[in-house]
Amino acid sequence: MAALVQRKVLSSYTSGLRYITTTSAYNASVQTKSKKTLSRPNVKNIVLVEGVRTPFLMSGTTYKTLMPHDLATHAMRGLIKRTNIPLDAVDYIVVGTVIQEVKTSNIAREAALQAGFSDRIPAHTVTQACISSNQAITTGMGLIAAGQCDTVLAGGVEFMSDVPIRHSRQMRKILLASQKAKSLPAKLQLLRQALRPAVWIPELPAVAEFSTNETMGHSGDRLAAAFNVSRQEQDAFAIRSHALAQEATDKNLLIDRLDYKVPGVAETVTKDNGIRVSTMEQLGKLKPAFVKPHGTVTAANASFLTDGGSACLIMSEEKALQMGYKPKAYLRDFLYVAQDPKDQLLLGPAYGTPKVLKNAGLTLQDIDVFEYHEAFAGQLLSNFKAMDSDSFATKYMGLPSKPGAPPMEKVNLWGGSLSLGHPFGATGVRLATTAANRLIHEGGQYALIAACAAGGHGHAMIIERYPS
């Protein structure tokens, strides 16, 4: 049913979106290619042994009674079970997260201890918005490349069901001062301050830039307008994502996903619960979510608030083979980019893709699998239009001509963040693991993953399938 909906949607509604095609022709023509390896003399090969994740669930649903370290712990335990890695064999643990639970500020350490890893294994937490677990992976790669470690667990977690809501700054100052107030007059003065109504207004969290005070959804809407990405194009891409995610689920292709028996919940969680195969007519009824009344970003063509955790095992190739593992892929060139968030916040993939290809000595045509983070449909389509624009390439990217956009028949064929969900800190591991699994499934050699992130950041990485 999902495949039928997908074909109908893509043939009927994407005349203006020339990159989108159905996947059937591509799948039928997949051939194993023989290309040069990116292995370099005197450079340590780093491999992805395995990656797993919890089911990604919409916030406020089945995971709502948990704490974030529970999700990270479950991902780690799933990785232990999948790889049989001894609990004292990991040299270092790095976990990415964005909105931190104050009780577990170093969530990497708390989850590692709860998962049963040796207390002698150091762990730290990193944050870089939506590319936090990408940063966890590359931090681990750096430790291995420097000879400090041979085996690193890299992961990520986000828990949007219970984000910290703070008292106002005035109330916080009163509470802190109350600990030092000794005399009755001093305590009465603080009490009078605390009785003012404005003091009791809480500070609610918002996905907004501190430097610009602009929400990411507003940035996404502004980006889509700048690159003339229509509401129709965005809705069609969102439908594509959900249809492909449903198809991948039905075909049991999402092998990184773990089952999760949540305490107190009768049914085991076995699937991502945000997948909704819909129609253009249904999506067309939704009102703009951020720029009202004329914006084009809606709840359906934007990624939703998600709870989830992920973990992967990366090693030096020598250590992996010594321990008897058959790696999934080599982790090759990577980079981070940044631009002015006041200009355009979400163009990281457009800036990162041609740079990482150049560093690796590859072209767009060499890439068999693309896994791009789908923050918003308009965001990703704008990045593709930027990459396919000569004027943007010469004016903003410093290139002589456009690098070109990836063909859609190679992009996110198992769904993406729009449909599977986007736990901010955990998506990077999903991208890397899915890219490796798709390379194996489709017989390709090279994959490229890329993502945007708050602050005007972006990340891109080349992954090479491990030889059979």
Distance between CA atoms of 75 and 54, rounded to whole angstroms?
A: 6
Peptide bond into 293 cis (omega under 30): yes
In SS3 terms, 98-148 reads as CCCCHHHCCHHHHHHHHHCCCCCCCEEEECECECHHHHHHHHHHHHHHCCC
Distance between CA atoms of 344 and 103, rounded to whole angstroms?
A: 35
Only one residue has tokens 């969290």, namely: 205
Task: Tell me which DSSP letter residue 467 carries.
Answer: P
Distance between CA atoms of 266 and 307, rounded to whole angstroms?
A: 19
Distance between CA atoms of 158 and 242, rounded to whole angstroms?
A: 21
HSE of 427, CA atoms in CB hemisphere, 13 A: 32
Strand partners, 459: 336, 451
HSE of 28, CA atoms in CB hemisphere, 13 A: 4
> Which of 17, 20, 23 lies closest to 4, judged by CA?
23
Q: How many angstroms separate the first and last alpha carbons of the chain?
A: 34
Distance between CA atoms of 343 and 214, rounded to whole angstroms?
A: 11
Q: Which residue among the candidates 452, 453, 462, 463 is catalytic per the annotation?
A: 452
The yes-or-no answer on residue 149 being catalytic is no
The yes-or-no answer on residue 130 being catalytic is yes
The Cβ of residue 356 has, within 10 Å, a number of other Cβ atoms equal to 22
Strand partners, 315: 47, 151
Rounded CA Rg of the chain: 23
Distance between CA atoms of 84 and 71, rounded to whole angstroms?
A: 19
Question: What phi, psi does 381 have (nearest 5°)?
Answer: -65, -35
Only one residue has tokens 């092998």, namely: 255
DSSP-based three-state secondary structure for 361: coil
And the tokens for 92?
A: 């270092």
29, 51 in Cβ contact below 8 A? Answer: no
Q: Which residue among the candidates 71, 85, 130, 245 is catalytic per the annotation?
A: 130
DSSP-based three-state secondary structure for 163: coil
> Any idea how long the chain is?
468
The Cβ of residue 44 has, within 10 Å, a number of other Cβ atoms equal to 15
Query: Which residues fall within 8 angstroms of residue 380, CB to CB, at 6 or more apart?
Result: 237, 349, 372, 373, 374
Which residues are identified as catalytic?
130, 452
